[in-house]
Amino acid sequence: MQHTPASARAADPAPDPAQQTPLLRHLVAGQWRSSDGAELISTNPARPEETVATGHLAGHAELDEAVAAARADLPARAALPHRSRGRVPARAADRLDARAAEWGEELRREEGKTRAEGVGEVRRAAETLRYYAAGADRPSGEVFASPRPGEQIRAVRRPVGVTAAVTPFTFPVTTTVYIRGSRTVIR
């Protein structure tokens, strides 16, 4: 973890009191929804009196539904050509870059980072997604020698499952992107 001098932290503006506290929701099976789980109140670690967001934790039902939806989508996603699958992280990278300032500000408030650290994390995640997207231009498999005469073994990479991720609070965006790769991640 990189420590930032107090003088750099002081350069960040005080929160706007008129700013409305966001309500946290969960994206489950393509729909944003609230949950009946335990209440969550997120505060700014640099300014504990500042509430960043409120909401409810996801429960077992939401998690089970999210995993079921991801598993149901897996065969269609796996059947896509390699290049089509590569477009998904490329579009995500474009979206991260387009909203880096906004989401970097959210990270500043949520994680207690400086604005520069928050924006930097979002931009680094975009770079990582572009690396994964470029994999669509690389060979999508390998050919191995077979122990039987006249045969070859061909290995082709395809999505194989759903991954659950619990990310550390220090780098929530980049850690999720590193874990993601070409997998579906439930976070």
Q: Which helix (H) or strand (E) holds 120?
A: helix 115-134
**Residue 7: what pLDDT?**
38
**Residue 180: what pLDDT?**
64
**Residue 183: what pLDDT?**
58
**Residue 181: what pLDDT?**
57
- Regions of the chain where pLDDT drops below 70: 1-19, 180-187
How do residues 38-84 score in pLDDT, each as one tens digit? Answer: 999 999 998 899 999 999 998 888 888 988 998 998 888 888 888 88
* Ramachandran category for residue 150: left, alpha or beta (phi over 0 → left; psi -120 to 50 → alpha): left
**Residue 16: what pLDDT?**
53
